[in-house]
Amino acid sequence: MRITVVGAGSWGTALAEVASRCHHEVLLWAHDPKVAEAIARTRSNPIYLPACQLDAHVRVTSSLEDAARFSETLLMATPSHHYREVLSTLLDFISGDVRVVSATKGIENESLKRMSEISAEILGERLVGFAVLSGPTFAVEVSRGDPTAAVVASSVIAFAEEMQVALSSRTFRLYRSDDVAGVEFAGSLKNIIAIAAGVLDGIGLGSNTMAALVTRGLFEIRRLGVALGGKPETFMGLAGMGDLILTATGGLSRNRSVGIALGQGRSIDSILGSTRLVAEGVRTCRSAKDLAERHRIEMPITIEIHRLIYESESPRDAINRLMQRALKAE
């Protein structure tokens, strides 16, 4: 199989290596020509994933025309706020049917749409298969071959099965699902709770507080996800609980790192300005708040993280508000 991986950040680079280990021909698209040149020259991604030595099956380009024409199967690994623009540009060079596997975790701020909805909107009848790939997957650990499990979901279960087989190996195991909405919401919303977990670490709170946050955070994201079409069991699996545990507690978590810095008193502009890496939870927090308000769904942790990021609220004040909410049954 030929696979085009769109996005040469750490996750896209790791997925290119996953696909090459399964003996597929892979073309990795990088937005920055300098990144593409460096990968072609050194066989590694010196900016985003320097420890990963890419297999010879992986080629690299900075041309979206080349990326579109290489394969009918696009594995999208761009940041969510660039997804629409990149896919729209790809469409200019797509001549036939196309299949999309989204590895992007986020909800578009302006439209409040998931990547599956954006893909359908842009590609229309040319989109003959869509799947989302998500789960507890730090890119550096995937690339070095640590045993990893994730989920691939499609409303057309035959496509989910095909991609499950195509991308599974000794070190990367995929489970299949038909719950696209649930997997997308779980993968996106958990990043907000991971920021909150980082805030707790940043202000020096302990395990009691962290356990309460993760438990109530999972309940909160499941409430929104199920209300908007996801299945409850998805949020208890790899895409939900599994990814939340990893992102809220793992030292490699970008979203947790943002939260730690917020808890230590740094401004969000300072935090984001000091790194090229994307913490999806920062933008997703805006979308989740808007969705919750639109559908009248209570999401108190999300609201407080939104206040911390966009209204310069104090972490201690946010915690006090959460602890002093009206008492209720669990």
Mean pLDDT by 10 residues, the chain (330 residues): 97 97 97 95 94 91 97 97 97 95 97 98 97 98 97 98 98 98 98 98 97 97 98 98 97 95 94 84 96 97 97 95 95
Examine the domain organization and report whether 26 and 40 are in the same domain: yes
In a domain, 201, yes or no: yes
Element containing residue 161 per DSSP (H, E): helix 157-167
**Count of C-beta atoms within a 10 Å radius of residue 170:** 8
| Ordered DSSP codes for 47-61 | TTBTT----TTEEEE
**Positive or negative torsion for Cα 305, 239, 142, 245:** positive
What integer pLDDT is reported at residue 9 of this predicted model? 95
What integer pLDDT is reported at residue 197 of this predicted model? 98
Question: What is the longest distance spanned by two Cα atoms in the chain?
Answer: 60
> Domain end: 139, 159, 178, which one?
178
The angle formed by the CA atoms of residues 86, 90 and 92, to the nearest 5 degrees, is 130
Domain residues for the domain of 319 are 181-323
CA distance 156 to 261: 42
CA distance 154 to 120: 13
What integer pLDDT is reported at residue 279 of this predicted model? 85
Examine the domain organization and report whether 15 and 30 are in the same domain: yes
Element containing residue 172 per DSSP (H, E): strand 172-177
pTM metric for this prediction: 0.96
Give the count of domains, the chain. Answer: 2
What integer pLDDT is reported at residue 294 of this predicted model? 97
Q: Does residue 119 contact residue 92 with C-beta atoms inside 8 Å?
A: no
> Domain end: 139, 158, 178, which one?
178
Give catalytic residues, as residue numbers.
Answer: 190
